[in-house]
Structure 1
Amino acid sequence: MTDNLVNRGPAISGPIRTAIVGTGYIAEFHARAIREVADVQLVATCDANLGRAKAFAGGWNIPLAFDSLSKMLQETRIDCVHILTPPDLHFSLAKTALEAGVHVFLEKPMCTSTAEADELVRLAAERGLYVGVSHNFLFSAAFQRLREAVHSGKLGLIDHITINHFYELGQIRFGPFDNWMLRNPGNVILETGPHLVSALLDLAGPPEALSVRADRKIALPNGAEIYRRWRVRTTAGRTAIDLNVNFAPGFPQRTIYVRGLFGSALLDFDADTCVIDQRTPLDVDFDRFKRSRAIARQMRTQALSVLARYGLGKLKLMRRGNPYQNSIQDSTAAFYATIRNGQPLDGRIAGSTGRDVIEHCVGIIEASAIDKSATICDQLRADRPALAAKPTVLVLGGAGFIGKELIRHLLAAGYCVRAMVRGSPLPLDEFRSDHFEVVRGDIGTRADLERAMPGIEFVYHLAHAQCKTWDEYLAKDVEPTRLVGEVCLAAGVKRLIYTGTIDSYYAGAKAGTITEAMPLDPEIRRRNYYARAKAVAEDILADMSRNRQLPLVILRPGIVIGRGGNPFHWGVGRFSENVCEVWGDGRNKLPFVLVTDVAAALVKSIQVPGIEGKSYNLIDEPLLSARDYLQELEQRGDLTLSVIYQPIWKFYLADLAKWAIKVLVKHPDRFRKPSYADWESRTQKAYFDCARTRTELDWNPASDRKRMFDEGIRVALEPWLEATR
């Protein structure tokens, strides 16, 4: 099977017009890469969710946004598409584009089967089009040094290659569990394996017989099974090859070690370094010394080069960025250079290579002999009991940390509950009750909200979006909240409960005592986007309450800990692996609250009469400082953390330096000047007086240090500890 070798398709006059299909995490990297290619215009974006497509287009100044690839191809001229959707959609979307006469650049994996890949390569060849696959790791500076050393013969005949991918797969612990990667035990290899297999093929050629062991199996909350460790042994000619994959928590390491007759090389993908070790003509003891010095010199030189490229890229003095962005940028540039000159595709991104990668990934799965029959679909189990009554309570954001605990409490209190989720309903499959149902929908879509409203008396709005820019927060968080209020008014609900955040207060050293009677931070426009978005959403709903009689109650939880939460909570400090940078000296008591107590207060908020128009803060008695929390976390988890008690001015100065660079390069986010008060507020030195909440909601939180340790830390740690076993 070969790729088309010459530009037999219709000639492209003028700039190449390209589009992005799928606006998830990886789309930003591709958009940035496209912008760096000369004579290529990013003219459209497409996503099944039109709101997301428009938000992405707005953030990148892309003229057009669509919710259908077919519609986009019909209504505007497109020369090439980048397909960045989940892998199970790659084939159908790529086929549609190729049949429309459009070049295709796919994120890895190319497809989910060799048969699908074969058809795309064949179709591209017939139409005189290019189909490429972004095996972007092969374009990193470090890998290019390694492949030159291997292919030039500098290392001599290659005896052994070891490829390690030790990198936690966060979805295993935190979801979303409807991710394609988690629907079948073999999908993690189809998703992650191309990084390893593409490197293997490029360095050594096709592997022969495979010996595979998959172990450390765990069951996910939705019933799916995942193997966290994979060990593959094979050969390619005279070269022995080991591939090791581990998705469990641990120190991240993505490396390739090559041993040859004349030397060895060690590549670190994350550091973007590749050091070569070879003998010198000196005596053995002096040889060791000189080689160690040479390795250190290579590491220092390459590390400085990586840092320089990153810094100069930020200053717009060089078209480079971090190593990951650079690798995508170079693979993208190679693809467009091919379209322009009509030459064969670089083998690293060729469709035929993408097809071979899938073939060998499938071979690894087959050789492992794992049970692949238990494929998890994106639906609740069919044997759920019929509803005993019509739901009267609607929970928006029920699949989240607080949402799931709320549903648990509502069902225990006898309510009939409906939860609306945008993604898969599988995370809620644990609630097998004749008082619970799940509907699919997006809170940003009026029709979805209206379909969820029949029979509903009480609505909980706990949903929030993960955003980076203020425009994204407005589009994905603030405006959907306005829509929720409008739909609740139209439906005549008895009460809407909105969850804000204490982060919308200033809570630094000068805050003193905070009660619900105090206004939110008057300088909220200078605060972080999350706190600001929550405050703006509160204002919108409060205005509806005052002027249009929206029956509203606002609850603002503190630092919520407990079952289902992340024990490495950023309310305590900034965590990165085993390092925690505490906000300040960590001595003051923090505003913790157990998730079970938050859920109890939420239930009370629909039971207590006459509280419309009021707000309540949900914080327990001041029981634990950051130092207390971290000490208990270490003891309960048998961990050794590197804890840094960081002065706030250091966080602020670092943020100020980044902002200065943004202003210099005219970054879209340059208009938000850093605020010292925003950083200092993270110390949470205020005292929250929740007497009104306790009295009016008859709320009795734990107020017990041992319960905070047991329910807030130990219970939250259990899933993490299980994942490391």
Structure 2
Amino acid sequence: MSSNSANGRSAISATVPIRTAIVGTGYIAEFHARAIRETAGVELAASCDANFARNEAFTGAWNIPLAFDSLGKMLQETHIDCVHILTPPDLHFSLAKTALQAGVHVFLEKPMCTSTTEADELIALAAYQDLYLGVSHNFLFSSAFERLRKAVHSKEIGPVDHITFNHFYELGQIRFGPFDNWMLRNPGNVIVETGPHLVSALLDLAGAPEALSVIADREVTLPNGAKVYRRWRTRTTVGRTAIDININFAPGFPQRTISVRGLFGSALLDFDADTCVIDQRTPLDIDFDRFKRSRAIGRQLQKQALAVLARYGFGKLKLVRRGNPYQNSIQDSIAAFYASIRNDKPLDTRIGGRTGRDVIEHCLRMIEASAIDTSSAAAARPERPALATAPTVLVLGGAGFIGKELIRHLLASGYCVRAMVRGSASALDEFRFDRLELVRGDIANRADLERAMVGIEFVYHLAHAQCKTWAEYLARDVEPTRLVGEVCLAANVKRLIYTGTIDSYYAGAKASTITEATPLDPDIHRRNYYARAKATAEDILSDMSRSQQLPLVILRPGIVIGRGGGPFHWGVGRFSENVCEVWGDGRNKLPFVLVSDVAAALVQAIEVPGVEGKSYNLVDSPLLTAREYLQDLQQRGDLKLSIIYQPIWKFYLTDLAKWAVKVVVNHPDRIRKPSYADWESRTQKVYFDCTRTRAELGWKPASDRQRMLDEGIGAALEPWLKAVE
């Protein structure tokens, strides 16, 4: 139990580490974990997440000693001085209150809470308990913002006349989900979630805004019935200073900037570049003045850009405790929080609880001034219809791209299906049939799998984890697949269908024609972790098939395109905004296959008798090159892409340089030496002969160029085009 007194924090010795825990191990937790590790005198002692399997993976990746599935249990069973609460905003208040009542300092991710009433209660409780309560408005600690606030507060650019805040950054959840997360449950929540980045900067630079004029438009109705507004435009004043706040969540070039116009100069901050340039007049004549000012701006940009790159590079080499700009801003905000605790001094106002409360107040004012209907929250998910019959087919990974299409085909074929989902089930809301049952579960949990397989005859394993290291792939992808095989054996299922990948083959220029008889890459240990994990999982299941008669069928889809997938497919090249780096010259035909044809083959794999123990590749006839794909994509989308046909050796040398740095700094991922063959395989210059698949499964893929274009590119592009309208 925490040793802090019930009313007043215990003194923390300068020689004793501050024991800290993370609550919520989602995306942002990695940034906090790294920042805590880089803060002197702070020990990351535990982590907590209701999803215990995810928490175990997180603690393993970060070598955190203790993992818990509830905050109460953690506070009871170990000594903790401080918690970082990184959960969805609607949980902030209850968790922070529990921690403060236990005598523990609290550092909250923004937004502090979802209402000023909750924030006020936490502020009062922290004061009563004599504890620190901080809020991570980390953008305010970036190097660029530090320069900007100094220029403003020192009056370097004179009294400020106008400030423009731009947050043009796509909110991917609007297009891809999950649609039932807190941010999308109510049309105002996106401002409570995102607005603090801008409002906290506004309060720090100028003060509290006065009357607000807000327009919210570009309305989108989500699949669950909730509405969201992709564009928000706010105008207000603070004294003599005019303020514009522009937010756009639609696809487009990312731009997060602050522009300040003063009496004696101007400043332009770019958060993503971490630069802030000052522009001021010179005593020269107008034409020479323009020239000198332009050069001065260029020099500032060059100097700051080099500094950003140097901090990143030296951080990778472990020569300095720095990283990319976003990591640095979080690191500095966290360092400021712990410096206050260690030195028993007031918090920096940028992360103080009172600021967190005021930020929420003004975000809520923006929502109110917009006059949007905040009652149009997500409709309560209606009860699913009663099952017409007991499910006989189990789909693991049914909420994914291929999984959804498979469920659509299974239902159309008359099967009663059970889909096990680990996270949000909103992706499957479109399937409201009396022959589909949704159950919660994790494939890494034996009990969940055993419950899901009751009455099941056929199992599809399409699930896979997003991992960064080989250890993570083993823990979250390979070993769960072994568990699926074991539970299938115990349940006496009639057939297990596992989806591998053609990426597990060597497919470079030296490869001959690939058939199902072709072995997977013999140097698979040198390949990318995804290809290696899939091949390792195949080996495990195949061994079970040979030694224990696991009724296994393996299908390896090619480059899958079509409805529900992204049009900017990395099977073609590496996409970044409008830039596509094609793997090689892009002239060879690629092994494309429509997602609908993959789903059809998956259905056939449980219907055709006598195919146990076999594997099949799912690749259509060679119909399109990368060049042809990109040409059609640009024509259909009225797009102009910057296409670079990149030699494979450039990708390889870049990877080799990164690996050399990892070796120098003793990085855990240094073990895998880059492979030229791995990069070359991305060109897919090999020919896939799927004659056996067509004959034995009765598979009839499109084999039609126009259909491949219409369904593969057109159907995938359509939702993206709607999003940018």
Cα shift readout 1:446-472 (whole Å, capped 9, x = no counterpart): 121122122211111111111111111
> How far is 1:502 from its partner?
0.5
Structure 2 match to 1:4: none
Aligned-partner Cα distance in 1 for 2:432–2:327: 44
Structure 2 match to 1:130: 132
Aligned-partner Cα distance in 1 for 2:381–2:587: 46
Aligned-partner Cα distance in 2 for 1:43–1:601: 49
Deviates more, 1:656-665 or 1:472-481: 472-481
Cα shift readout 1:632-689 (whole Å, capped 9, x = no counterpart): 0000110000000000000000000000001101111111111111111100011111
Q: 2:398 aligns to what SS in structure 1?
A: coil
Aligned-partner Cα distance in 2 for 1:545–1:86: 43
> How far is 1:548 from its partner?
1.1
Structure 1 match to 2:75: 73
Contact 1:204 1:236 in 2 (8 A): yes
> How far is 1:368 from its partner?
1.1
Aligned-partner Cα distance in 2 for 1:15–1:521: 49
Q: 2:645 aligns to what SS in structure 1?
A: strand
Aligned-partner Cα distance in 1 for 2:230–2:311: 35
Structure 2 match to 1:657: 657
Contact 1:214 1:370 in 2 (8 A): yes
> How far is 1:8 from its partner?
5.2
- Match among 166, 169, 172 for residue 168 of structure 2: 166
Aligned-partner Cα distance in 2 for 1:224–1:699: 40
Cα shift readout 1:395-448 (whole Å, capped 9, x = no counterpart): 111111111111111111111111111112221111121111211111111121
Structure 2 match to 1:550: 550
* Matches for 1:37-436 after TM superposition, within 5 Å: 37-376=39-378, 380-382=381-383, 384-436=384-436
Structure 2 match to 1:474: 474
Letter in 2 for 1:469: T
Q: 2:693 aligns to what SS in structure 1?
A: helix
> How far is 1:546 from its partner?
1.0
The answer on 1:17 being equivalent to 2:19 is yes
Cα shift readout 1:313-363 (whole Å, capped 9, x = no counterpart): 111111111100110010010000000111110000001101111111111
> How far is 1:178 from its partner?
2.7
The answer on 1:624 being equivalent to 2:619 is no
> How far is 1:177 from its partner?
2.1
Contact 1:380 1:425 in 2 (8 A): no
Aligned-partner Cα distance in 2 for 1:366–1:496: 54
> How far is 1:374 from its partner?
2.6
Q: 1:476 aligns to what SS in structure 2?
A: helix
Deviates more, 1:279-288 or 1:130-139: 279-288
Contact 1:23 1:53 in 2 (8 A): yes
Q: 1:513 aligns to what SS in structure 2?
A: coil
Aligned-partner Cα distance in 1 for 2:434–2:381: 14
Contact 1:381 1:429 in 2 (8 A): no
**Structure 2: gaps spanning 5 or more residues:** 1-6
Structure 2 match to 1:639: 639
Cα shift readout 1:601-636 (whole Å, capped 9, x = no counterpart): 000001001111111100000000100100000001
The answer on 1:668 being equivalent to 2:668 is yes
Aligned-partner Cα distance in 1 for 2:373–2:447: 41
Aligned-partner Cα distance in 1 for 2:320–2:434: 61
Cα shift readout 1:177-225 (whole Å, capped 9, x = no counterpart): 2322122111111111100000000001000111111111112233322
Deviates more, 1:168-177 or 1:504-513: 168-177
* Matches for 1:507-546 after TM superposition, within 5 Å: 507-546=507-546
Letter in 2 for 1:286: F
Letter in 1 for 2:396: L
Cα shift readout 1:65-116 (whole Å, capped 9, x = no counterpart): 1111111111111111111111111111111111111111111111111111
Structure 1 match to 2:486: 486
Structure 2 match to 1:569: 569
Letter in 1 for 2:468: K
Aligned-partner Cα distance in 2 for 1:570–1:442: 28
> How far is 1:543 from its partner?
1.2
The answer on 1:559 being equivalent to 2:554 is no
Aligned-partner Cα distance in 1 for 2:159–2:663: 52
Aligned-partner Cα distance in 2 for 1:721–1:186: 24
Aligned-partner Cα distance in 2 for 1:133–1:295: 34
TM-score w.r.t. length of structure 2: 0.98
> What's the C-alpha RMSD, in Å, of the aligned pairs?
1.1
Structure 2 match to 1:3: none
Aligned-partner Cα distance in 2 for 1:222–1:91: 26
Contact 1:167 1:252 in 2 (8 A): yes
Deviates more, 1:54-63 or 1:458-467: 54-63
Aligned-partner Cα distance in 2 for 1:209–1:344: 31
Q: 1:556 aligns to what SS in structure 2?
A: strand
Cα shift readout 1:559-591 (whole Å, capped 9, x = no counterpart): 000000000000000000000000001001000
Structure 1 match to 2:696: 696
Aligned-partner Cα distance in 1 for 2:640–2:208: 43
Structure 1 match to 2:4: none
Residues matched between the structures, number: 717
Aligned-partner Cα distance in 1 for 2:382–2:559: 34
Contact 2:526 2:674 in 1 (8 A): yes
Contact 1:178 1:423 in 2 (8 A): no
Aligned-partner Cα distance in 1 for 2:332–2:356: 17
Deviates more, 1:174-183 or 1:262-271: 174-183
> How far is 1:136 from its partner?
0.4
Contact 2:204 2:350 in 1 (8 A): yes
Aligned-partner Cα distance in 2 for 1:221–1:705: 32
Aligned-partner Cα distance in 1 for 2:617–2:451: 32
Structure 1 match to 2:682: 682
Deviates more, 1:87-96 or 1:552-561: 87-96
% identical aligned pairs: 82
Structure 2 match to 1:462: 462
TM-score w.r.t. length of structure 1: 0.98
Aligned-partner Cα distance in 1 for 2:112–2:480: 35
**Structure 1: gaps spanning 5 or more residues:** 1-6
Structure 1 match to 2:3: none
Letter in 2 for 1:459: V
Structure 2 match to 1:724: 724
**TM-aligned CA distance change 1:380 to 1:521, over 3 Å:** farther
Aligned-partner Cα distance in 2 for 1:57–1:126: 33
> How far is 1:284 from its partner?
1.8
Aligned-partner Cα distance in 2 for 1:573–1:150: 44
The answer on 1:452 being equivalent to 2:452 is yes
Aligned-partner Cα distance in 2 for 1:638–1:500: 35
Aligned-partner Cα distance in 1 for 2:718–2:390: 36
Contact 1:439 1:452 in 2 (8 A): yes
Cα shift readout 1:468-516 (whole Å, capped 9, x = no counterpart): 1111111111111111111111111111111111111111111111111
Letter in 2 for 1:608: V
